Chains A and B, each alone.
Chain A
Amino acid sequence: MHLVYLKLELKRAYKRLPHLYAGAIMLLMTAAVIALLSSRLLYGESVAGTVAVGVSVPKEDDLARQVVKMISSLESVGSVCRFQYMDREACLKELEEGKLYAVLDVPEGFVQDIMNGTNTPVTVWFNPDAGIEGKLFQELTDAGALTLGASQAGIYAGNELYRICGLEDAVGDLERDLNQRYMEYSLQRTGYFRHLNVDATGDVNTMEFYEISMYVLFMFLTAIPVSGYLMPSKRVMGQKLSLAGLGGGYRAAVKIAGMGFLMAAATFPVVLVAVMADVVEMSVILAAAWAVSCVTASGIVVLLFQMAGTLLGGIMLLFFVITGQHFLAGGFLPMVFLPATVQKWAVYLPSSVIMDSIKMAFIQEWDWSRLAACAGIGAAAWLLSGAAEVRRQ
């Protein structure tokens, strides 16, 4: 009878597949609309990426133009800034219109002045309304000016010393040698610093983190279109099944198996697309993480519906509890940005534990503690569901 009941519950679940897929498509469409609206809200019509900077160089000053081009070709500058060359008036006009985040106004004889020690400064104009991109460029120019100032001070000090010692003819050689040595030492010095990548998303990159987060949220919310399946069985049905030897624990386990099957059916196309798009590698780790996460999420969903007892109550509880704990678990905003007290406890939340176990598939490394924690939460949900089923009966 145990097997017959399991078979029939799976059949019940199977009959819900059309509802599941229709709901899943609606869910994906809603998520896409929210994502689009959010990006528009954050960035408006502008293209997020490099900082547009206007550069005004005197027409006849080819040397200055070459120096600016050389600076913009540096990877550290090019990855952040996009230099646009135009005359001073056009630059300031575009800055005022918000098309540019900053303007570099290079003076006449800029390079020659550096060489003779006059140091005519480059005027930098910022747009106060440019937001974070403008501030980023301001920090970049300040840092650049400090570096340039430090290296110039060394060269000027050497020049002065040579002149005092009557070695004016050797100043050229000195500058060349200093430049060479400065580059050698400064480049090597970077090796003395410990490189530590601080990443708010843990052992996966930001993109992967949000892919995992959205996958977990999607998996939980696919329970909404099949909420009819999750409704606790009638009290008399429970009584009759108990009489036949099918206790509350077994019935809860069967319900979790049915819901797990539905979650697996909903997430399988997503996993398949991810594998085909090389987002994640097809492996036993992936299969294990996928299966365990489906069962654990299913256990939690079944428990929530057991606690609610009604269809509407179950849907409300599912939505608010899942989205709430997903936020606290760092599903929307990485946990490091949340208050310390929240961080301390959030690691035990279902979303956090499930996300951690799925990360295994991305980093392609077995982590039994993560997998055990995930399975443990599923087992706890099963025990509580079974107890709720017995209590309700």
Chain B
Amino acid sequence: MVLAATDIYKSYGGRAILKGVNLETFPGECVGIVGSNGCGKTTLLSILAGAVKADKGSVSLDGKQAGKSRSAYTNAVAYVPQENPLIEELTVQDNLLLWYGGNKKALEQDLKSGAAAFLRIGDMIGRTVEKLSGGMKKRVSIACALSNHGEVLILDEPGAALDMECKADIRCYLEKYRKAGGTVILTSHEMTELSVCTKMYVLKDGKLKLIENGLPEEKLIEYFR
């Protein structure tokens, strides 16, 4: 599926965050977006996920406008925000069931052979979310987002505050997802996390700029300045 963002503008309180962003992603791609803090990465991902409306511009999936076929769009796009969208007092199973629409069979299937199995969710299925570590919560968040078996996965700083093992697990999963034909769009400040990307963009002054992939950190920082 081709996800395209055309001429996206967004302002908050009179401050322009995005000033004409254009982006096109294709199946099998992993797109990394970098930029300094507060440059608008989260806003851009929220717009791509359909969670926030752009002031101007459009987002489309295979040529269909996101706003016009909302349910088809949200069924195809899996969004993992920076903050975990989980109900802390409930168990992992309860949280997953919410996003699986109460379909226990589908959840069991994914726990056996789907994304939930790869993310090793089965080990913590009965545990209360508030008692899980940050890494575990992130894995559950990804599993929740992928309950729709979306073909586009959008992640906002997936490795933030996670230990090395968790980061490696998530990287490994993203690689697998991409190779299976899915599209990954992620933001990060960490080079190891960005190593899975096949395309790199820098967001600066409200605009996206395609840069060379696999640049060392020192070179990448120069684009921020």
Residues of A within 8 A of B (CB): 1, 3-5, 7-8, 11-12, 15, 233-237, 239-240, 242-245
Contacts and interface: CB of A to CB of B under 8 A. Distances in A.
B81 A1 contact: no
Contacts of A5: 98
Contacts of A234: 83, 85
A35 to B, nearest CB: 35
A46 B49 CA distance: 73
Contacts of A15: 89
A239 B98 contact: no
Given A4-B98, A240-B81, A243-B49, 8 more contacts: A7-B102, A235-B83, A239-B52, A239-B81, A240-B51, A240-B79, A244-B74, A245-B74
Contact of B97 (A4, A240, A244): A4
Contacts of A11: 90, 94
Contacts of A233: 87
Tell me the interface secondary structure of chain B in the complex. Answer: loop
Contacts of B99: 244
A4 B107 CA distance: 14
B81 A236 contact: yes
Contacts of B74: 243-245
Nearest to A238: B85
Contacts of A8: 87, 90, 94, 97-98
A11 to B, nearest CB: 7
B90 A240 contact: no
A234 B83 CA distance: 8
A277 B200 CA distance: 74
A1 B101 contact: yes
A1 B95 CA distance: 12
B154 to A, nearest CB: 11
A240 B102 contact: no
A4 B74 CA distance: 18
Contacts of A7: 102
26 contacts: A4-B102, A7-B102, A8-B87, A8-B90, A8-B94, A11-B94, A15-B89, A233-B87, A234-B83, A234-B85, A236-B51, A236-B82, A236-B83, A236-B84, A237-B87, A239-B46, A239-B51, A239-B81, A239-B85, A240-B79, A240-B81, A242-B51, A243-B51, A243-B74, A244-B74, A245-B74
B71 interface: yes
B87 A3 contact: no
A4 B104 CA distance: 11
B35 to A, nearest CB: 20
B73 to A, nearest CB: 9
Nearest to A228: B89
Interface in B64-103: 71, 74, 79, 81-87, 89-90, 94, 97-99, 101-102
Contacts of B57: none
**Minimum-distance CB pairs A-B, first 5:** A239-B51, A236-B81, A4-B102, A237-B85, A1-B101
Contacts of B52: 239
B206 to A, nearest CB: 22
A236 B101 CA distance: 19
